[in-house]
Structure 1
């Protein structure tokens, strides 16, 4: 085949390689080669799962926006269906349709305006500090979501599905928490040490899945799911032993509170709950962007994600790349766990420190199309959902579980791009 006949890389795909990237020929020629799977059926199944994952993660931004719109629309229907005034006026809609339409508008607009007041700006109060407090709450919730989304997203770029965010957060949070209450050090040493220990613990836990994938071909989805359970029960065991994490004399599985020298400082002072964890998330976004787009390692990650066989033929160690990617992913999710223990909930390590962030991070990564800037935007959106959901429940008596439904619907529509295109009559990828 002539050079002109070779297909050019598609940069819209998660593992695509830019034309200006480093040449794969610069990779070490003597890199260790992995043994190709002997079972053709398992190899084909792996290729199919990689293709599906790549298709979901590489959709255009418009599909993501429309998925959010559809999820919010379905959420609006659920709000209307459960509102007592709407149901009452629906019984005589043919006689007085204006009553039904007014009740419908009041229910939906009231719910989302309450969410806006709780997530962005509270226009019902006069004090500027109280008006902007909701935005700081959104940023506080967004910090660990962004970090978790980066951890899942960078694995996506290598065509790996890191579903073990919960276990990585629990192990990292437990390790950082032990450093936080057990050691007595100056803040300039104590805080960085706790952060590094937490990230190292998360990297170790994520690296287990990477090593098993590289050495035995074990599917990372199964391994990371099982490691979630292992991490949970390891932390539970540690929280029941005085010599490890348990508070002496307490019957509750919870550690002592963190020392003041290890707590993440507040960004805007003690009047707001926003802490330095959000700044760490912004730094992580910049670092991951540089790693994926400007470094040799990022080129290898994208090459392996696009076509591991071609990457292997070019001299890239696919197994080593899998291991490194999962360690990086684990460290990012570990940093999300550190964010929780040293910033959001400093009263002690507990079994619920992950606060479902490990699974929400999957949605954030999918919505952000595994791109750091997209993950940043998706994390802010989901942080707003979390912050605004509590106000919506308090003022409109709408269960905060509606937010979980909307998030789940976003995943549903993101996982079915053809459905979104069919609903909005968008051209298919082939037509484009």
Structure 2
């Protein structure tokens, strides 16, 4: 490895920071071309994010489901699978938690945990269908999982309409208070922002992602099957069972994201005309984060912060939503295309390397 590469590795924060700045510059150019003030727009974005405890809390609330779905996609990637069905697993997690939250009335120390576990299992089993089809029939997981997204949406709508519907409404009956996951003292502290236990569980999920894949025998098998199924089979590993297991674990993470949307944010489930979109956003988050635990966390903060703060650009600077999406897309592009950024920084890094050699001499 040459000196320039070593400097890049030591300055690992430089590339993503420069990527974000470049994305914001491209966004500013787009706003100037449309006749809008980029300084006012970006000021409005940061005021939206940090201007009050309420907005800070709501930004955290918007980031939380992206952590879950980002982990779900990244986990599958790390085991050689492309779980594009995280959206459907997210919806099934919502549905499982809503069923328990509405139909049962139990003490809080049973009701809440039962709803969480049920929603997670719904997500895991829904992903398990994809793993089973791949393991037993060789069905490509991209095709089966994306088709199951639509199946999950319509099945969830049917369950709500047939068993849980609030009379005269297009949503389920309210989830019993004993199953809700609000953090009341933090809600008061954050000026009524919708804070819930899902944020803490999401952070724990990042740790579980790392420990499971890189610190356990099971994680080694999951990664080995993903890297080379034939070699794993030769080594005595049960490849088919591992594929199903990997998809189910990925689905559990996705299902948990859906669980806390209904138990921690809305308190009911609506009949949806379209999927929430968190699963597809999770694909972008996983790719931005390099399918690593810390990377997914940071990418979730970036993506969720930009998405929530972008409304401030619309209200505070009159920037239309189309240009706001250009800004977000530009930042994501440069963060994802870090090779371009490294190429742009290479002359600077080479000069810095030469200066260090002169100093050493």
Are 1:327 and 2:248 counterparts? yes
Are 1:167 and 2:88 counterparts? yes
Q: Please give the TM-score of this superposition, normalised by the length of structure 1.
A: 0.71
Larger of the two Rg values belongs to structure: 1
For the residues of structure 2 that align with 1:354 and 1:340, how far apart are their CA atoms? 13
Q: Match for residue 255 of structure 1?
A: 172
Higher helix share goes to which structure?
2
Instruction: Give the C-alpha shift of residue 314 in structure 1.
Output: 1.6
Q: Match for residue 299 of structure 2?
A: 378
Q: Quick one: structure 1 residues 319 and 393, their matched pair in 2 at CA, closer, same or farther if it must change by over 3 Å?
A: same
- Greater Cα shift, 204-213 or 407-416: 407-416
For the residues of structure 2 that align with 1:161 and 1:413, how far apart are their CA atoms? 23
The correspondence of residues 185-200 of structure 1 with structure 2, limited to 5 A, is 185-200=106-121
Q: Quick one: structure 1 residues 172 and 347, their matched pair in 2 at CA, closer, same or farther if it must change by over 3 Å?
A: closer
Q: Match for residue 297 of structure 1?
A: 218
Do the aligned partners of 2:108 and 2:179 also contact (CA within 8 Å) in 1? yes
Instruction: Give the C-alpha shift of residue 283 in structure 1.
Output: 1.3
For the residues of structure 2 that align with 1:365 and 1:179, how far apart are their CA atoms? 30
Are 1:265 and 2:182 counterparts? yes
Do the aligned partners of 2:161 and 2:271 also contact (CA within 8 Å) in 1? no
Which ranges in structure 1 are unaligned for 5 or more consecutive residues?
Answer: 1-59, 85-106, 123-130, 428-432
- Count of matched residue positions in the alignment of Structure 1 and Structure 2: 333
Are 1:73 and 2:25 counterparts? yes
Q: Quick one: structure 1 residues 215 and 62, their matched pair in 2 at CA, closer, same or farther if it must change by over 3 Å?
A: farther
Q: Please give the TM-score of this superposition, normalised by the length of structure 2.
A: 0.85
Which ranges in structure 2 are unaligned for 5 or more consecutive residues?
Answer: 1-11, 350-361
Q: Match for residue 27 of structure 1?
A: none
Do the aligned partners of 2:98 and 2:268 also contact (CA within 8 Å) in 1? no
Q: Quick one: structure 1 residues 273 and 409, their matched pair in 2 at CA, closer, same or farther if it must change by over 3 Å?
A: same
Q: Match for residue 236 of structure 1?
A: 157
Are 1:246 and 2:198 counterparts? no
Instruction: Give the C-alpha shift of residue 408 in structure 1.
Output: 4.0
The correspondence of residues 112-191 of structure 1 with structure 2, limited to 5 A, is 112-119=42-49, 121-122=50-51, 131-191=52-112
For the residues of structure 2 that align with 1:305 and 1:327, how far apart are their CA atoms? 15
Are 1:213 and 2:134 counterparts? yes
For the residues of structure 1 that align with 2:337 and 2:160, how far apart are their CA atoms? 41
Partner SS for 2:57: helix
For the residues of structure 2 that align with 1:398 and 1:316, how far apart are their CA atoms? 55
Instruction: Give the C-alpha shift of residue 380 in structure 1.
Output: 1.3
For the residues of structure 2 that align with 1:407 and 1:388, how far apart are their CA atoms? 10
